[in-house]
């Protein structure tokens, strides 16, 4: 055989079967099919599924990791999914009644020669040099969120990092159509009846109401039912109900007069008895929900808390009640079965923004397994999935308003202890420091070393000045989120918003 022909011979085709009618299933199908055109055949068995929330959140990384590989511009999928912006999470009544704080979705705390800017803010506060809240002093976003400003100018350029709110069903339909028509994904709608397994325990075929599907790799995207990883493979489940403060949710969608009240470009989470409520604004309506503990609050009480906070007018909204089981399978990748989304673990409804799913999909693509040696990719995938879940657990336990001394991982416990002692955080503690500073600012004493570090103090003053300057400029130049979205979603003849190309997304800044 000619050696050059041998080198260029195509790889054997791999059959990937994805089970689930979830948004996660179609994210996985589109991502895998676009990554391996012609060498991986993707089939989705779309099983019956009812989403617990009518509006979903997408992380700031979604455009780069999901839509760019599909060749889809941001404006196109935003129109198709009735999407809006989410540049921050606004926590209301968390640290004290009638207070709120913004935590940006993507902006890290600026560094001042090894000290986070929040420590310099604490030093300013204790010396009486500022009364500004920590979020307004340390990030550009909070004043823009107060003014309901768009994170993009009307020409499509981005001013600050942001994520999105999107209609769950519309986004699922858009990705389904794109995956099937453009990426060659096969679609079957039916029920999973069972599976064949070989002597090593690997799934070789799925039996469905639409026939038998042969598989080299199967993805469980069936949500919390975990039909493959928990049903067919019977992977042990680690129940974390006693570690997570909420186990139930109620969701609804209500009309909203955006022209009168504007569109909030952020997610709102409000502390209530036994849990919290959240609000995800779209143009003309809002998705909302409440997370609560079933042992302390009844479904009717949770529904009253939710509807009372929103005061919906007109026809009573349709409520969706869901009982959750916090926890995760012991392993997310077992033999040739990979669980994604809530099939791989659940902490609370507010935690899902698909960032973990997209990260794990990228890892799966980079370490796509050979048929005879899946062990090493699976082991690395499982370590990453466990680390993601542990971080999500820490965040949900730290932010629960009724638990001030939760059970935490070693990293989170160290971050909490250094925060309370007023010590500079280690690098792996920084993601939690913004949350801790926001929720308990009066206990965040500045590190003693900071006052003796002139270089860090000069860097902090430069950051504070730059942030204030950017805030003023952006408040003057950015349109409101309502104005931007109204033009974006207008009929084609009335659109004046410039389509944002790859260079105009998050990171394309002018100041």
Q: From residue 336, how far is each of 23, 159, 388 by CA, in Å?
A: 22, 43, 21
Distance in angstroms (rounded) separating the CA atoms of residues 83 and 485: 9
Helix H or strand E segment including 7: helix 3-8
Cβ atoms of 302 and 309 closer than 8 Å: no
Give the tokens for residue 51. Answer: 């989403």
Q: Tell me which residue has tokens 């007069």.
A: 257
Question: Residue 322 and residue 252: Cα distance in Å, rounded?
Answer: 12
- What is the bridge-based pairing of β-strands 14-19 and 40-46? parallel
Kind and range of the H or E run holding 389: helix 375-398
pLDDT at residue number 396: 83
Q: Please report the pLDDT score of residue 444 as a whole number.
A: 60
User: What is the number of other CB atoms lying within 10 angstroms of the CB of residue 98?
Assistant: 6
Q: In angstroms, rounded to a whole number, what is the distance separating the alpha carbons of residues 392 and 417?
A: 19
User: In angstroms, how far is CA 349 from the centroid of its own chain?
Assistant: 10
Tell me how far apart the alpha carbons of residues 229 and 232 are, in angstroms, rounded to a whole number. Answer: 6
| Per-residue model confidence as pLDDT tens for the chain (511 residues) | 455 444 555 556 789 999 998 999 999 999 999 999 989 999 999 988 777 778 999 999 999 999 999 999 999 999 999 999 999 999 998 777 788 999 998 878 898 998 889 889 989 988 888 888 889 999 999 999 999 999 999 999 999 999 999 999 999 999 999 999 999 999 999 999 999 999 989 999 999 999 999 999 999 999 999 999 999 999 999 999 888 888 999 999 999 999 999 999 999 998 887 788 999 999 999 999 999 988 888 999 888 888 876 766 666 788 899 999 999 999 999 999 999 999 999 998 877 789 999 999 999 999 998 766 778 899 999 999 999 999 888 888 777 655 555 677 787 888 888 877 777 777 777 777 777 777 776 566 788 889 899 999 999 999 999 999 999 999 999 999 999 999 999 987 666 655 554 444 444 444 3
Instruction: Calculate ∠ Cα 489-143-419, nearest 5°.
Output: 120
Instruction: Give yes or no for a contact between 209 and 194, defined as CB atoms under 8 angstroms apart.
Output: no
Q: Which two tokens stand for residue 451?
A: 């006052």
21 within 8 A of 50, measured Cβ to Cβ:
no
What distance in Å separates the CA atoms of residue 248 and residue 298, rounded to the nearest whole number?
10
Count of CB atoms situated within 10 Å of the CB of 371: 11
Cβ neighbours around 47 below 10 Å, total: 22
Strands 40-46 and 111-112: unpaired
Q: Are 252 and 54 in contact (CB under 8 A)?
A: yes
């Amino acid at each position: 055989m000619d050696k050059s022909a041998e080198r260029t011979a195509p790889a054997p085709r791999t059959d990937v079967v994805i089970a689930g009618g979830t948004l996660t299933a179609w994210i996985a199908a589109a991502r895998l099919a676009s990554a391996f055109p012609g060498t991986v055949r993707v089939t989705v068995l779309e099983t019956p599924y009812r989403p617990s929330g009518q509006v979903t959140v997408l992380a700031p990384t979604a455009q780069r990791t999901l839509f760019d590989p599909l060749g889809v511009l941001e404006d196109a999928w935003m129109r198709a999914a009735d999407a809006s912006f989410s540049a921050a999470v606004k926590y209301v009544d968390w640290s004290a009644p009638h207070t709120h704080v913004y935590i940006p979705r993507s902006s890290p705390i600026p560094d001042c020669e090894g000290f986070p800017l929040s420590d310099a803010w604490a030093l300013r506060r204790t010396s009486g040099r500022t009364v500004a809240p920590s979020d307004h002093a340390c990030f550009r976003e909070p004043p823009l969120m107060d003014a309901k400003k768009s994170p993009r100018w009307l020409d499509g350029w981005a001013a600050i990092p942001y994520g999105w709110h999107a209609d769950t069903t519309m986004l699922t339909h858009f990705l389904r159509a794109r995956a099937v028509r453009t990426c060659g994904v096969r679609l079957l709608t039916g029920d999973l009846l069972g599976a064949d397994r070989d002597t090593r325990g690997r799934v070789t075929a799925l039996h469905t109401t639409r026939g038998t599907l042969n598989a080299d790799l199967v993805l469980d995207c069936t949500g919390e039912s975990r039909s493959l990883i928990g049903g067919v493979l019977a992977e042990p489940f680690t129940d974390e109900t006693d570690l997570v403060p909420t186990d139930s949710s109620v969701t609804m969608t209500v009309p909203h007069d955006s022209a009168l009240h504007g569109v909030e470009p952020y997610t709102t989470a409000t502390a209530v008895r036994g849990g919290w409520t959240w609000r995800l604004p779209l143009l003309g309506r809002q998705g909302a929900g409440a997370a609560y503990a079933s042992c302390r609050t009844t479904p009717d009480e949770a529904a009253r808390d939710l509807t009372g906070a929103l005061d919906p007018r007109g026809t009573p909204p349709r409520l969706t009640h869901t009982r959750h089981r916090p926890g995760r399978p012991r392993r997310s990748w077992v033999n040739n079965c990979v669980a994604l989304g809530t099939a791989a673990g659940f902490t609370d409804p507010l935690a899902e923004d698909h960032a973990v799913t997209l990260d794990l999909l990228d890892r799966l693509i980079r370490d796509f397994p050979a048929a005879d040696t899946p062990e090493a990719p699976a082991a690395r995938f499982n370590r990453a999935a466990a680390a993601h879940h542990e971080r999500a657990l820490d965040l949900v336990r730290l932010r629960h308003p009724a638990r001030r001394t939760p059970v935490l991982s070693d990293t989170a416990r160290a971050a909490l202890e250094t925060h309370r002692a007023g010590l500079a955080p280690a690098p792996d503690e920084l993601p939690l420091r913004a949350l801790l500073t926001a929720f308990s600012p009066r206990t965040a004493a500045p590190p003693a070393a900071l006052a003796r570090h002139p270089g860090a103090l000069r860097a902090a003053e430069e950051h504070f000045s730059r942030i204030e300057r950017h805030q003023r400029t952006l408040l003057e130049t950015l349109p409101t989120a309502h104005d931007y979205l109204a033009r974006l979603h207008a009929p084609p003849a009335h659109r004046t918003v410039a389509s944002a190309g790859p260079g105009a997304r998050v990171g394309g800044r002018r100041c």
